[in-house]
Structure formats: structure tokens, C-alpha cells
Copies of this chain bind each other. A is one copy, B any other.
């Protein structure tokens, strides 16, 4: 479910927003100051920010600019002020939408859906992994070796994703098994042997001496870009 950060200094409204969003199964963080908002945005993976302009510490536009310095996350601004100039400044600073208090919760939820829908199409990260002998497009599910298309099965993709997410890092066998087959399969290391053999046969230049899918005996496996 999408993660939403609520930035609202008034406790009553903050709680009301959080409850309403949680009831729609969003994951909700809520803070009361602009400083906390920037800190929360810096640590977590956010899908949307709901930002009240009337904050005690920072001007709302500063918060927007602080976020836009490094993030494309959609921002919906709330404000009690009717001032046109305020709206224009917020929108030009990088806000996606502007809702004037008092607002209907239905409308806000609809605007949240609209903002999330727009954001979901734009995939800034192509999620492509390339090595000397093959390339992997995790998003499009395409694999090529020496320019030729290679077919991978669903389990092979799942295993590759679990491993490639941490390039150069050793991933314990139990963790791979838990992620791909489920926690109940943590001891079935023979699955890994079978599937890594298939992956090496399909992707490695010399399957006998793998250069990218490395076995660390007794520990796990490592992907070397």
C-alpha cells in the first residue's frame, strides 16, 4: 500500500487525516513541523506528501522547495488561506495540487488517488542491470545475452531479483529461499543449486566457471556486476 506523509501542526486535524487514510489502507506517517517533515522524507520511502502551509517553524514553500531539491514525490498542499498569491507560489514551487480548507474528505481522497495514479506511470528508474556478458531489465522482464533474447522462467526472475537487489553483497542461502519459496523452505538448498545451474547455463559465458553468480560455499550466493 502507498506510504503517505501527513504534515499538519493542528493535532485534531492531523489525527483525523491519519485515521481516514489508515481506514483506506494507506500506510501513514504524521508529523507536526516542517523540520520533521523534511527529516521523515529523507529517511523513508514515500509515495505522497500532504502538507499544511501554516506550519509553526518553516514556511510551507520552503518545505516544498526542500523536498523538490531531491525528490519527485507528489505533494498535495492544504491551506486555510484563500490568498491567490499563496496558491500560485506553492504550485510554482513544485506542489502538485492545492486544496483549500475547509475541504471534503471525499475530495481530498480523490485528489490523493489522482496524484498517486499519475505518479505510478512515471517510472524514473529503468531498473536495468548490465554485465559484460548479459543485461537484465527487471521492470520489463527482458534478459539478453550477446544481444540475443533469453527466456527466464518466473522462479528464475524471482531469484534474480532477490539476489541482484544487493550487488556485490553476499546473500545468505536461507534468505534467498525464504524470499522466493517462502519461509518454510529455508533448508531446501538443493533448489538453489538447481536454479543457479539453470541461470548460469542461460546467462554466464562459461557456465562451468561463473563470473557473476558466485557461490560462497556454506554461506550463500553473491551477484558480481
| A→B interface (CB under 8 Å) | 72, 84-85, 87-88, 91-92, 94-98, 104, 106-107, 109-111, 113-114, 117-118, 121-122, 124, 139-142, 153-154, 157, 166, 168-170, 216-220, 222
Inter-chain contacts of A219 with B (CB < 8 A): 141, 154, 157
Tell whether, in the assembled complex, residue B140 and residue A169 are in contact, meaning their CB atoms are under 8 Å apart: yes
Q: For the complex formed, measure the closest distance between the CB of A147 and the CB atoms of chain B, giving whole angstroms.
A: 16
Inter-chain contacts of A96 with B (CB < 8 A): 114, 118
Q: Of all chain B residues, which has the CB nearest A170? A: B141
Known: A169-B140, A216-B141. A84 touches B72 (CB 8 A): no
Q: How many chain copies does the complex carry? A: 2
Known: A88-B110, A110-B92, A169-B139. A121 touches B218 (CB 8 A): no
Tell whether, in the assembled complex, residue A107 and residue B92 are in contact, meaning their CB atoms are under 8 Å apart: no
A122 to B109, CA, bound (A): 24
Q: Of all chain B residues, which has the CB nearest A165? A: B121
Tell whether, in the assembled complex, residue A114 and residue B140 are in contact, meaning their CB atoms are under 8 Å apart: no
Tell whether, in the assembled complex, residue A107 and residue B87 are in contact, meaning their CB atoms are under 8 Å apart: yes
Q: For the complex formed, measure the closest distance between the CB of A142 and the CB atoms of chain B, giving whole angstroms.
A: 8
Known: A106-B85, A141-B170. A92 touches B121 (CB 8 A): no
A217 to B157, CA, bound (A): 12
Apart from A87-B104, A141-B219, A153-B218, what are 18 other A-B pairs with CB-CB below 8 Å? Answer: A84-B104, A85-B106, A87-B106, A87-B107, A88-B106, A88-B107, A91-B107, A91-B114, A92-B114, A94-B117, A98-B107, A140-B166, A140-B169, A141-B170, A141-B220, A142-B168, A142-B170, A154-B217
